[in-house]
């Protein structure tokens, strides 16, 4: 374990079973990130992993404007079903622009801007996230090869450049509803996210 990375751990009982919870403090930023681990990684086989960026509005307030909350819950269920896996909960609110700027971007989206243009109108990048520390966290946990649950190829590349091999990308396509269809289509058509099917939502989904 690297001595410059402050960390702690405990057992955590959840609706999806027993997990080991690790907390990591990033030295350069002071941000505190979490890792929820389930099962044994000692055999060296690829591990099912989700990199989940913090989303207060979706994860906590059940916002219908994104798919973050459903992705978080589905990822934890998938890890429990697999019997082993890691969910990294990364303090990267609003794709790295922070909560206040995210709220400002939402206000611009209310006036017709999409999620990409809203950030640009604020003078901010479409995606300000780095996955260097996420790769370091996985290394500290003994994970070198992963099956990554994501629709975003940027996460695959972001881990690969920092020494984590992504042997498989596992789609995580959940949470589409009447409010977030345009948001998801913008991610697909303008930000390169991968979706098997783009369609208009049906009923109350």
Domain residue spans of the chain: 22-54+67-92+129-195, 97-127
Predicted local distance difference test score (pLDDT) of residue 85 = 98
pLDDT per residue as tens, the chain (205 positions): 566 777 899 999 999 999 999 999 999 899 999 999 999 988 889 999 999 999 999 999 999 888 899 999 999 999 999 999 999 999 999 999 999 999 999 999 999 998 889 999 999 998 899 999 999 999 999 999 999 999 888 899 999 999 999 999 999 888 688 877 676 777 767 767 776 654 544 334 3
Which residues are catalytic, by number? 127, 129
Q: List the one residue out of 77, 86, 89 whose CA is nearest residue 17.
A: 77
Q: What are the residues whose beta carbons fall under 8 Å from the beta carbon of 147, sequence distance 6 or more? A: 46, 47, 48, 49, 166, 167, 168, 169, 170
Predicted local distance difference test score (pLDDT) of residue 9 = 96
Q: What are the residues whose beta carbons fall under 8 Å from the beta carbon of 29, sequence distance 6 or more? A: none
Query: 147 to each of 78, 86, 89, 196, how far by Cα in Å?
Result: 12, 10, 17, 18
pTM of the model: 0.89
Q: List the one residue out of 58, 60, 39, 57 whose CA is nearest residue 48.
A: 39
Angle at 125 between CA 123 and CA 130, to 5 degrees: 145
Predicted local distance difference test score (pLDDT) of residue 191 = 67
Specify the fold of 22-54+67-92+129-195.
Rossmann fold (3.40.50)
Predicted local distance difference test score (pLDDT) of residue 133 = 96
Predicted local distance difference test score (pLDDT) of residue 36 = 97
Predicted local distance difference test score (pLDDT) of residue 205 = 37
Query: 40 to each of 44, 90, 127, 154, 205, how far by Cα in Å?
Result: 9, 22, 33, 27, 36
Q: Which DSSP string corresponds to the chain?
A: --TTSEEEEEEEEETTEEEEEEEEE-TTT--EEEEEEES--TT---EEEEEEE--IIIIIT--SSSSHHHHHHHHHHHHHHHT-EEEEEE--HHHHT-HHHHHHHHHHHHTT--HHHHHHHTT--S-----HHHHHHHHHTT--EEEEE-S-HHHHHHHHTTT-EEEEEE-------TTTHHHHHHHHHHH----S------TT-
Angle at 63 between CA 91 and CA 186, to 5 degrees: 80
């Amino acid at each position: 374990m690297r001595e410059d990375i402050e960390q702690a751990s405990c057992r955590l009982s959840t609706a999806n079973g027993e997990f080991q919870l690790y907390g990591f403090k990033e030295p350069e930023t002071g941000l505190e990130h979490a890792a929820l681990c389930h099962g044994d990684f000692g055999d060296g086989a690829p591990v099912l992993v989700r990199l989940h960026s913090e989303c207060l509005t979706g994860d906590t307030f059940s916002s219908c404007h994104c798919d973050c909350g459903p992705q978080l819950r589905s990822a934890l269920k998938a890890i429990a079903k697999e019997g082993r896996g890691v969910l990294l909960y990364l303090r990267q609110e609003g794709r790295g622009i922070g909560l206040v700027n995210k709220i400002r971007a939402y206000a611009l989206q209310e006036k017709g801007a999409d999620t990409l243009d809203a950030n640009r109108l604020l003078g901010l990048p479409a995606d300000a996230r780095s996955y260097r520390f996420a790769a370091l966290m996985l290394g500290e946990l003994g994970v070198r090869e992963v099956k990554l649950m994501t629709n975003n190829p940027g996460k695959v590349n972001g881990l690969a450049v920092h020494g984590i091999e992504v042997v498989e990308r596992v789609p995580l396509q959940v949470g589409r509803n009447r409010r977030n269809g345009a948001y998801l289509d913008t991610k697909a058509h303008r930000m390169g996210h991968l979706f098997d099917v783009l369609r208009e939502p049906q009923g109350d989904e």
